[in-house]
Amino acid sequence: VSQDIDGAEILHSLLNAAWLQSLLKRLVFSVPHYTGWLLIDIRSLPSCSEEAKELYHLLRQPHLQALLSAHDTIALKDYEPVLPPMPEDLPDDEEATRIVCLVKNKQPLGATIKRNEITGEIFIARVIHGGLADRSGLLHAGDRIIEVNGFPVDGMEPEQVIQVQARSHGTIMFKVIPITERPVHNQTMLYVRAMTDYSPQQDPAIPCADAGMSFRRGDILEIVDQTDALWWQAKKLPSSTACAGLIPSTNLLKRKQREFWWSQPYQPHTCIQTWLSTDICSFSSAGFRRSMRLCRRRAHSTTQPSCNTRCPSSCYSALNSPYEEVVRYQRHSEDVHRLIVLLGPSGVGVNELRRRLVEMNPNIFQGPVPYTTRAPRGYEESGREYFFISREVFENMVYHNRFLEYGEHKGNMYGTSIESAKEVLNSGKICVIDIEPNALQAVRTHELRAFVIYVKPPTLERLRETRQDSYITTNYYVNRPFKDEDFQEMEEAARKIESNYWQFFDHVIINNELQDSCVELLTAVMRAQDEPQWVPASWIRPTSES
Ligand SMILES: Nc1ncnc2c1ncn2[C@@H]1O[C@H](COP(=O)(O)OP(=O)(O)OP(=O)(O)O)[C@@H](O)[C@H]1O
């Protein structure tokens, strides 16, 4: 399933299909002696096929027998409490009520309530996907609660209702008038990458902080319910819990980001049982590497064309939207490889790792040939070390947004073009480049499908230990030993990169021991090509907004 995307999706939608769910429910109640029935059925076939024999063999395995017997036991069990029979002489005008009895366990009930301020009636405001109330299938948003454990609740404050239910032991009984027209849930599967951090505990506007779900930039969220325009329900992937949590919808989060403070009046909801701020995301575009990376064979940019001139749609949407829609993508073997992008604070070892990867197998890994306006040296050949072009041609390329990055060094222009990267990819090799973080949006495109690896410095202590025999190149010195201030600068630059770009990283390597980092890099690069990854939906469906 982890390898076959189409298969997994088909299986997921099949298992979620309403007809199958209702069939299964009926099966549980109507065919309790499932095991015996199935086995007899197979054995009684006059001429068993090989498949039937194999199935028979599988079903006789002890673990399957145990599973089916557990199923039968549960299906046959009578659950407490036994409710009194419905009175036969119900008046015609009596509203249909439902008695819902739930067995309390350590889990929260997974519902919030609200009070109609005019009538004083108490309603279920929201049922949390996968929570106890939801799994019971008996309580729904909009149901009016009449009684809790026999106490009439009309006119009570929501907090008092909670106290009543909190006092109950073992089971909790609700008498409700079910909502007549339940909203139709035709949810489509939606996965997003969070572009900002969120903490419900610090959000005064959330209907119930305990029902909220915190997330960090870069987390992948499965949106399971978008019925409410303001508060969605989501699970963080990989999900270990069945119960979803409340998160602000795209529009709400955008508004929070714009206004910094959510100032909408809100209808207070109260959690039925104790469960579960918004850090405003900011984007700045600072260059974090040294002005010139002299140690690199090719010089680089510090100047970037502004993001919106370069990639109007993808960039804008990623920066403006607090969630980026993502899909699971697996490269087909005949497709070109994904571009491998390395970035990190200056001196951390980005260039070293890239160089070692290419050296490891130059038939598989290759860097793009950069462009320059400087004159070729005696041994240099155009198209090998650089493409040597005139300043006029270079500027024309800049004008037409053909560079991923470009910059000036000692009066000469240097740049890496999109075409150079594509050329490597089209030759069947894996193109590996390193970039400044502010060039990220230029590589996160449908055609390059960049897999971004962030090289993170280890702790100061580990930097001191591991870089004893290493050399740094600064604006003023080529290859001088590292000093403590270099490490501190590196840490500071790393903090800035992380606070602005963390959400775009597909993989993070802490560059501690160089050998380990090389192995980790190679593994990550091969995974990027061969295993399913979350990518922006706009790469796969170029017309969709991400
Ligand atoms: N894990 C490591 N342990 C020890 N030395 C390392 C490690 N990683 C890199 N180095 C060394 O640190 C020095 C700086 O590395 P490198 O030139 O790759 O930095 P960089 O990230 O490309 O920085 P810049 O952008 O400034 O060029 C080099 O001498 C390199 O060999």
What value of ipTM does the predicted structure carry? 0.98
Ligand 1 atom at shortest distance from the alpha carbon of 355: 18
Identify the weakest region by mean pLDDT among 191-200, 220-229, 250-259: 250-259
Percentage of residues of the chain with pLDDT beyond 90:
45
Look at 90 and 53; give whichever has higher pLDDT.
Answer: 53
Q: Which atom of ligand 1 is nearest to the CA of 470?
A: 29
Q: What is the pLDDT of residues 183-202, one digit of tens each?
A: 666 567 799 999 999 999 98
Q: Does 67 share its domain with 166? A: no
Q: Which of 419, 453, 446, 421 is nearest to 348 (CA)?
A: 453
| Statement: residue 525 has pLDDT above 50 | yes
Average pLDDT, the chain: 81
Dump pLDDT digits (tens) for 297-340.
334 444 344 333 333 334 334 446 899 999 999 999 889 999 99
Evaluate: CB of 470 within 6 angstroms of ligand 1. Answer: yes
> What atom in ligand 1 is closest to the CA of residue 290?
26
Supply the residue whose CA is at minimum distance from atom 2 of ligand 1: 514
Q: 514 in ligand 1 pocket by Cβ < 6 Å?
A: yes
Confirm whether 277 is domain-assigned. no
**Domain termination site, one of 27, 42, 76:** 76
Let me know if residue 428 belongs to a domain.
Answer: yes
> Are residues 381 and 443 both part of a single domain?
yes
> For residues 320 and 423, is the Cβ–Cβ distance under 8 A?
no
Cβ of residue 352 lying under 6 Å from some atom of ligand 1 = yes
User: For the residues 462-486, what does the mean pLDDT come to?
Assistant: 87
β-strands 122-127, 111-115: how paired? antiparallel
Identify which of 283, 284, 282, 297 has the alpha carbon closest to the alpha carbon of residue 434: 297
102 and 67 housed in the same domain: no
Question: Could you read off the pLDDT of 387-416 as tens digits, one per residue?
Answer: 999 999 999 999 999 999 999 988 999 999
Domain of residue 345, residue span = 307-540
- The verdict on whether omega for the bond into residue 532 sits within 30 degrees of 0, i.e. cis, is no
**Domain shared by 435 and 324, yes or no:** yes
Q: Check pLDDT > 90 for residue 367.
A: yes
Q: Are residues 390 and 509 in the same domain?
A: yes
> Is residue 48 packed enough to be buried (19+ CB in 10 Å), middle (13-18) or exposed (0-12)?
middle
Decide if 137 is inside a domain. Answer: yes
Indicate whether 149 and 37 sit together in one domain. Answer: no
46-55, 178-187, 264-273, 345-354: lowest mean pLDDT where? 264-273
Give the position, in ligand 1's atom list, of the atom nearest the Cα of 296: 27
Task: Provide the whole-model pTM.
Answer: 0.73
Which residue's alpha carbon is nearest to atom 11 within ligand 1?
470
Q: Show which of 142, 161, 177 is a domain's final residue.
A: 177
Say if residue 447 is in the same domain as residue 314: yes
Q: Is 200 a member of any domain?
A: no
Query: Hey, how many other C-beta atoms are within 10 angstroms of the C-beta on 206?
Result: 25
The verdict on residue 283 lying in a domain is: no
* Pocket of ligand 1 contains residue 368 by CB under 6 Å: no
Examine residue 193 and state whether it is found in any structural domain, yes or no: no
Q: Which residue has the tokens 């170029």?
A: 542
Domain end point (choices 177, 199, 219): 177
- 261 versus 392: the higher-pLDDT residue is 392
Is the CB of 295 within 6 Å of ligand 1? Answer: yes
The answer to whether position 349 is within a domain reads yes
What is the Cα–Cα distance from 71 to 44, expressed in whole angstroms?
Answer: 23
Provide the 10 A C-beta neighbour count for residue 302: 18
The number of distinct structural domains making up the chain is 3
Maximum mean pLDDT: which of 17-31, 73-87, 199-213, 423-437 = 423-437
Is residue 13 domain-shared with residue 102, that is, in the same domain?
no
* Residue 346 Cβ contacting ligand 1 at under 6 Å: yes
Q: What is the pLDDT of residues 122-133, one digit of tens each?
A: 999 889 988 888
Strands (E), 149-300: 151-152, 171-177, 190-194, 220-225, 231-237, 245-248, 270-271
CATH number at residue 320: 3.40.50.300
